[in-house]
Amino acid sequence: MASDGSEFNIIIAGVGGQGILFSSRVITRAALDSGLNFVQSEVHGLAQRYGSIKTEIRIGRDVVSPLIMEGTLDLLVALEPIEALRYASYVTDRTSIVMNTHLVAPIGAYLERKRIPKVKEILEVLEALKPKRLEALNAVEVAERAGDIVVTNSVLLGAVDALGVLPFDEGALRRALEKEAPKKYLELNLRAFDMGREEILKR
C-alpha cells in the first residue's frame, strides 16, 4: 500500500513466450542480492500459450500478498503495448511505465473483426492516466541491433534500469542479469541491456 518507499510494486505484462518469467527472475534476483524481501506471483500452464500473461513483483520488508492492490503500482513494464492497457486501473501518479511499441495483435481479434488499437492511441490513453513517467521504445528493433530479437526482454530491463526508480543499488539489475542469463547468451543479453539503458538515458 505505502507510497513512502517502504514497498515497491511491479507488473510485467506481455504475451506468453516473450520472456516475462525470465525478466521477473532477474528483478527478484536483484532484490534478493540487495538484501530486500520480495514476493512475486506468476502464471504457468495453458495461459502461457501466446495469451496475455503477467507477473506481479512486490519488494519491501512487510510485503506478503503475492498480488498487488490497484492504485499501488510503482512500475509497469509492458513487453507489448496492448498488454499495458489491461492494468490501467493500477496506474497512478506513483507509476512509471516502460512500454515496448512492437504490437502483437491477438489472432482472435482478426477472426472476430475486432478493432486493434494503434500504438499512438495506446500511448494517448496511458498518458491520460498521468503516470509519473511513460517511456515507449521499440525494444524489438533495439534487440535486433544487439544481435537477436530473443533478447527484447533484456532491452526493456535496461530501459527500466535507466529510469532509476528501482529500489536497488546502482548496477544491481545488470549484475542479476549476469547471474540469471544462460552463459551462451550472456554477452548478447548484456549488450541488449546496455542498449536499452542507453536508449532511455539519451532522451
Beta strands 38-41 and 52-60, pairing class: antiparallel
Query: Which residues in the 129-158 window bind other proteins by CB under 8 A?
Result: 129, 140, 149, 152
The CB-of-158 to other proteins minimum distance in angstroms stands at 18
13, 20 contact by CB (below 8 A): yes
Rule CB under 8 A: is residue 6 a binding residue for other proteins?
A: no
Q: Is 93 in the site for other proteins (CB under 8 A)?
A: no
Nearer to other proteins, 22 or 193 (CB): 22
Cα 103 from chain centre:
15
Please report how the helices 152-163 and 172-180 are oriented relative to each other, as an axis angle in degrees rounded to 10.
160
Does 42 sit near other proteins (CB under 8 A)? yes
Residue span binding other proteins (CB under 8 A) among the ranges 27-35, 153-161, 165-173, 195-203: 27-35
DSSP-derived letter for residue 123 is H
Which residues does 136 contact at the CB level (< 8 Å), separation at least 6? 81, 98, 99, 100, 101, 119, 123
196-44-55 Cα angle (round to 5): 40
Q: How far is the CB of 137 from other proteins (least distance, A)?
A: 15
CB of 51 to other proteins, least distance (A): 3
Which residues are near other proteins by CB under 8 A? Answer: 1, 15-17, 24-25, 28-29, 32, 37-52, 62-72, 82-83, 85-86, 88-92, 102, 104-112, 114-117, 121-122, 125-126, 128-129, 140, 149, 152
